[in-house]
A and B are shown apart, each in its own frame.
Chain A
């Protein structure tokens, strides 16, 4: 490997050479349904071929980090829900995990199991939605998305009865979870998990061998494993490129070392692999869920020694990360001993995964850009923070 990688071509101003005058500059977004939020791509087109692509961020920027530095540690917990608003429970977990590292708090076993259960349910509903949106972007209008939303609804009902909110759950606390499971929740969850396994068979029968889906996604948006690692791509997108890296396996945070699950890997790194990896990951998640719901131990859900009010961790810093559905979600906290974090930083997986968007789209048709972006799985609440 050369000492220093070639830096990518970035100059946008001059498109030179034959046919330079024929180029068309097009802004896709920020108010375009296929950009999944307020996201803009400035694209230079040669006919319908993409010659340059530049993502433009910041339409949803509210300086989450600055807000968090002006308030106590606990007050930021509801704000983390709004980062990736599909996966509020994994956001909660990543933040709680980092504060627990920073302050040296322990989590009771039952709370760890509940965290795993809620995180895996979150992963399933996130991947379901993503596949629905991806198919919608491809023109499969309605059916896959509505099927996915029908199943997601059942998971959101579970979240609602557990946390009181469907999407903005604000559930985890430093040293455990806010409340214990309500009566009958376990049975309902088990039923949902059983139903999901059947639904996935049906969903896959509809999609995986579908000729149009394959034609639109195979060999499109190929990402090599070396480029993915160097660009910090994480999550299903990295594993679709064939890199075996899952923070659940590497860090073994929580109680993930007690579950037997496999990490699906892709062969080609194309959009179809990114679709298929997510389907397989959902099946592995269901496997974890079945075991976790069976083995859930009794006990408290909060560490009795944890103090939520007047919480002041010692001066120091900590970096915590988890495998969120979109990739590695990290928090970096620096404490100066005061009730507010001195520095609060979110490492958003969606933003890092967009680093390679231009490479994946280069030379493709404009219609493929929408599909490739759909397979990256971004949420602008997290990209712009």
Chain B
């Protein structure tokens, strides 16, 4: 298997317009990855699949990641202190929109029996510009996984043949795997006759507070 630098060089030779950057990995396994530019993502993926030396014909896994931090350091790794602080304080989550959403592709070669080569694609920000090129036309195994990322993270994959929610139901609002997503109290809350029971209960049954609260909200009581 070629080194990542060689792969990077050959991509740039074959596709001079492509933006490719090597992302480090501080973990002991040291599996580094390639960050691709959005515009050339599909062309680079096609090159990686069809190049006779690489033949990365099998896309095993696609992971969606939500990077909430406004500025990403050189690698993808956030400094633990700042990430922890932000989470605890709960401030500014989702307001900046300057972090990014990311799709990580793990490629292997079934022909040469080696791998992995890890690709990363990043959206411009988290709020408005959340589009990435779909790699489903290159590897069909991305079909369900990109649908899942669209479903849970809200990345819109351009060129996907069937971009619908995969796991959540149609009509569901929001993207549950995003870091600033707030879990609803009860997803299946529908108005039922039982919902009115506390309002109808008399004060001597100990529901005075409930009645006070609901009386202002609901004119029927």
**Mask: chain B, 117-150; 1 = CB below 8 Å from A; 0 = not:** 0100000000000000000111111111100000
Are B136 and A332 closer than 8 Å at their CB atoms? no
Q: A232-B139, A316-B77 are in contact. Are A338 and B59 (CB under 8 A)?
A: no
Could you say which residues of chain B place their CB within 8 Å of the CB of A31?
Answer: none
CB within 8 Å: A-B pair count: 137
CB pair B177–A101 under 8 Å, yes or no, is no
Contact with A along B151-189 (1 / 0, CB 8 A): 010000000011001111100000011000000000000
Give the distance in Å from the alpha carbon of A352 to the alpha carbon of B83 in the complex: 33
Judging by beta carbons under 8 Å apart, are B140 and A355 in contact? yes
* Chain B residues within an 8 Å CB radius of A330: 60-61, 106
Partner of B168, one of A58, A313, A385: A58
- Taking residues whose C-beta sits less than 8 angstroms from the other chain, chain B's interface range is 35 or more
| Chain A positions within 8 Å of B161 at CB level | 7-8, 10
Contacts of B166 in A (CB 8 A): 57-58
Chain B residues closer than 8 Å to A317, beta-carbon distance = 25, 27, 31, 76
A270 in contact (CB, < 8 A): no
Q: Is the CB of B80 within 8 A of A315?
A: yes
Q: Does A103 contact B (CB under 8 A)?
A: yes
Task: Check if B167 sits within 8 Å of A229, measured CB to CB.
Answer: no
Is the beta-carbon distance between A314 and B65 smaller than 8 angstroms?
no
Given A66-B176, A328-B60, A330-B106, residue A7 in contact with residue B137 (CB < 8 A): yes
Q: Does B50 lie at the interface of the complex (its beta carbon under 8 Å from any beta carbon of A)?
A: yes
Contacts of B143 on A, CB cut-off 8 Å?
A: 231, 355
User: A245: CB under 8 A from chain B?
Assistant: yes
Dominant secondary structure of chain B at its interface with chain A? loop
Contacts of B78 in A (CB 8 A): 315, 336, 342
Whether A7 and B136, one on each chain, are in contact in the complex, defined by CB atoms closer than 8 angstroms, is yes
A65 to B66, CA, bound (A): 13
Q: Are A338 and B140 in contact (CB under 8 A)?
A: no
Taking a contact as CB atoms closer than 8 A, the residue among B46, B61, B116 that contacts A4 in the complex is B46
Contact check, B113 vs A250: say whether CB atoms are below 8 A apart.
yes
Please name the residue on chain B nearest to A103 by beta carbon: B28
**Contact indicator A316/B140 (Cβ below 8 Å):** no
Most central of A5, A103, A313 by chain B CB within 10 Å: A5
Would A58 and B29 be within 8 Å (CB), given that A229-B58, A338-B84 are in contact? no
Q: In the complex where A61-B167, A63-B176, A314-B26 touch, is A232 in contact with B59 (Cβ < 8 A)?
A: yes
A102 lies within 8 A of B141 (CB): no
Which B residues are CB-close (under 8 A) to A103? 27-28
Contacts of A28 in B (CB 8 A): none
Asked whether A229 lies within 8 Å of B83 as measured between CB atoms, the reply is no
- A3 proximity list for chain B (CB < 8 A): 46, 50
Residues of A within 8 A of B63 (CB): 332, 343, 345
With A230-B141, A232-B139: A319-B106 Cβ-Cβ less than 8 Å: yes
Contact: A355 with B65, CB < 8 Å?
no
**How many Å lie between the Cα of A315 and that of B194 in the bound state?**
50
A367 vs B157: C-alpha distance when bound (angstroms)? 36
With beta carbons under 8 angstroms apart, the residue of A227, A316, A347 that contacts B60 is: A347
Give the CA-CA distance A7 to B25 in the complex, in Å: 34
**7 smallest beta-carbon distances between A and B, as pairs:** A232-B141, A316-B27, A104-B28, A337-B80, A347-B61, A7-B161, A58-B167
Q: Would you give 8 A-B contacts (Cβ < 8 Å), ordered by A? A: A57-B167, A63-B167, A63-B177, A102-B28, A316-B77, A328-B60, A342-B78, A355-B141
Contact surface of A with B, Cβ cutoff 8 Å:
1, 3-5, 7-8, 10, 57-58, 61, 63, 65-66, 101-104, 227, 229-233, 243, 245, 250, 313-319, 321, 328, 330, 332, 334-338, 342-343, 345, 347, 351-352, 354-355, 384-385
Name 14 extra pairs, CB < 8 A, besides A63-B167, A232-B60, A316-B27.
A7-B136, A7-B137, A7-B161, A57-B167, A61-B167, A65-B177, A102-B29, A230-B140, A243-B110, A314-B27, A316-B28, A343-B65, A347-B61, A347-B106
